[in-house]
Structure 1
Amino acid sequence: MHELKYSGYTVASISESCGYQSVLSGVPLGTIQKIFSGETESPRYDTLQALEQLFSEKSTVCEEASYQADRNGSYTLDDYYALPDEQRVELIDGYFYDMSAPTFHHQSIGGEIYRQIANYILEHKGSCRPFIAPVDVQLDCDNKTMVQPDVGIICDPSKIKKFGIYGAPDFLVEVISPSTKRKDYTLKLSKYMNAGVREYWILDYAQRKLLVYFFESESCPVIYGLDQPVPVGIYHGELTIDFSNILKWIEEDLV
């Protein structure tokens, strides 16, 4: 139970998704909130099993874990910059999280989304700037968090620094993989929402679905299939992302 409660899940991330986890797991939202707040210290075994099933892959995978060390929770940007260049991690609230090198297919998907965003902005002479990982984002403007979202849009030029981005981008996309699924659905959802990100997409290409959180108008996620263009909320739907190429790659077993 300790591992489940303190793996980065928060009551805010559960509540703000309007019971999405509750719908998927079959566990009542009130029960989930009590578990993650600590009010319920000994939930039923079948409840724990349902939640674990939600946040784990059907196959056995090596779960991504923050570094196991006495300093967990106290790492800073000094420690982040002191790491070898070849060691890819994210720093979140003083914890290091390993990041495996992205696969060709992962980068192809992120690149296709980035391409469409960049083309739209260039064609419409927009002032916002798209970016693609790896770009350092000092999300909370402190020395305890540095993330590398897969794709993003930044509209405030004052946030663009030589090292990367200082503050919350306007729009972010995470293309999930087995090793990042738990973090992208829960920990990063809460972090991005609280930092002031306006819109957050979670693309699960293995399940052929996209979760869209547009925090400015709705806290509930909208779930899309990949067989239709998806509107970008910060552009009032004038920019849409076409997933036909990505869906074709999936169907051809190229991702």
Structure 2
Amino acid sequence: MPMTVEEMKRQKRMLGYTYDKIAELSGVPLGTVQKIFSGVTESPRYDTLQALEKAFKSQEGDRIEEAAAMYRARQQGNYIIEDYYALPEDRRAELIDGIIYDMSSPTSVHQLIGAEIWEQLKSYIRNSKGKCVPMLAPLDVQLDCDDRTMVQPDVLVVCDRERIHMNCVYGAPDFIVEIMSKTTRKKDSILKLNKYMNAGVREYWMVDPESRKVVVYDFAHEEYPVIYGGEDKVPVGIFEGECKVDFGEIYEYMNFLYE
């Protein structure tokens, strides 16, 4: 059986292939390649899949081993996105300015807060028929559009849909939320704060489940930091305050975890 489309997508990401490169190696027309990998063609023909497979099978082993060897040879501060993609699939990490930061698995509190914030943002955007897109981790964000940084914000909103690609967001989101823990507090409040501000993120929230505080940096309106409590309805600056995230409702829903 030939590789599945999902398997090919993973190899495309690992090898850094463009649609043009896949078309060149497989002999499949570029338009067909684009339709299959974008999901427009949901059930590609068997012979087309066999042809596409050649693009990955021919050089797969050499390229993956080469990427892994390069990763082993580099040191912190010099890693690039190719090294990031060469990491084992079960290793959660971010790449920031050439440094790889390992990420622990999120807690139940972390996941519920992120999901609830996303749900309230999504409801507002849909009800107001907005064009912005709310998204959740894990999702790669190529923040600086270079090869030295790839982050995975907990919650993000992207208003320029051209920045949303099949495998990542390319460029700075408009709005980012990071849900802090003891292990991420320093990175979220210092390193990422500066990265997001310099990259052009319009608004950044740091949510602390332990203290139930929300620290808001509204870079676009030059209003920061503003600190809210766990009972507050926090206005979203990118929507001119018309959308408010109700943290009282969120924590009330989650009370069973704090008992």
Query: Structure 2 length as normaliser, TM-score?
Result: 0.70
Alignment of 1:51-90 (within 5 A): 71-90=75-94
* Mapping for residues 79-228 of structure 1, pairs under 5 Å: 79-228=83-232
Mind listing any 5+ residue stretches in structure 2 that lack a counterpart?
A: 1-72
**Which one has more relative contact order, counting CA pairs under 8 Å at least 6 apart?**
1
- Asked if the contact 1:150–1:174 (Cα under 8 Å) also holds between the matched residues in 2, the reply is yes
Percent identity of equivalent pairs: 54
Question: Counterparts of 1:95 and 1:235 in 2: how far apart (Å)?
Answer: 34
Supply the distance in 2 between the matched residues of 1:184 and 1:249 (Cα, whole angstroms).
Answer: 25
AA of the residue aligned to 1:179: T
Q: Secondary structure at the match of 1:244?
A: helix
Task: Please give the secondary structure, in 1, of the residue aligned with 2:112.
Answer: helix
Tell me the SS of whatever aligns to 1:246. Answer: helix
Root-mean-square deviation (Å): 1.9
1:190 is matched by which residue type in structure 2? N
SS at match of 1:91: strand
CA contact under 8 A between 1:105 and 1:254: conserved in structure 2? no
Comparing 245-254 with 92-101, greater Cα deviation is found at 245-254
* Cα distance in 2 for residues equivalent to 1:243 and 1:92: 30
Bigger Cα Rg: 2
**Alpha-carbon distance in 1 for matches of 2:240, 2:162:** 23
Pick one of 237, 243, 246 that aligns with 1:239: 243
CA shift for structure 1 position 157: 1.0
AA partner of residue 238 (structure 1): E
* Whole-angstrom distance in 2 between the partners of 1:76 and 1:217: 33
Distance 2:171 2:122 in 1: 21
**Equivalent AA in structure 1 for residue 250 of structure 2:** I
5+ residue gaps, structure 1: 1-68
Give the Cα separation in 2 of the matches to 1:189 and 1:209. 16
More helix by share: 2
